[in-house]
Structures are given as structure tokens and as C-alpha cells.
Amino acid sequence: MMTYKQRLCCWAIARLLPTQQWIIVARFCSRSDADGHFQFLRQSIPHVKFEVVFDRSGDSHRLSALDRPSISFTSAL
């Protein structure tokens, strides 16, 4: 069961690991906060693939590369 705080933070930044697994590295309450942090991560670590996703599942663990959240948006920055 998800807590109230977890339900508020549906926007997340996922990182692709070398094992083709996605891991959630941060959660945000708004898309604009997620996009801002995504831009910072992309500039700081350009060789790592990050993606902004909308994750209603609340699962903070790994996601397989093929089983990403059902609604995902890649930030076009």
C-alpha cells in the first residue's frame, strides 16, 4: 500500500543501468521539478541515460527496460 506522500510524487527520473534495468533515482511532485533535475543530471553526467517518467505504481525499485511505467515521457531537452 502506498503512503499519501508516495502518491503525491508521481514524476520520477529513471536511470538505465548496464544490465538494461531502469532504476528510479529521484521522485518529484511536479513535472517541472523533474525536468529541472533531469537537465542538471544530463549536464553533470552526459554519458548516462536518464529519462523523466510518470510512474503511478509508486514502485521505487528497478524497472526492466521493456517494462517501464505504462505512461512515460522522455524529456526533450
pLDDT digits (tens, 9 = 90+) for 29-69: 889 999 999 999 999 999 999 999 987 765 554 444 444 44
For residue 43, being part of any structural domain is answered with yes
R_g of the chain, CA atoms, integer Å: 12
Question: Is 77 a domain residue?
Answer: no
Can you give the three-state secondary structure of the chain, one letter per residue? CCCHHHHHCCEEEEEECCCCEEEEEEEECCHHHHHHHHHHHHHHCCCCCEEEEECCCCCCCEEECCCCCCEECCCCC
In this structure, is residue 1 part of a structural domain? Answer: no
Residue 25 clears pLDDT 90, i.e. is over it: yes
Number of domains in the chain: 1
Flag whether 30 is in a domain.
yes
Q: Which domain holds residue 21?
A: 7-72
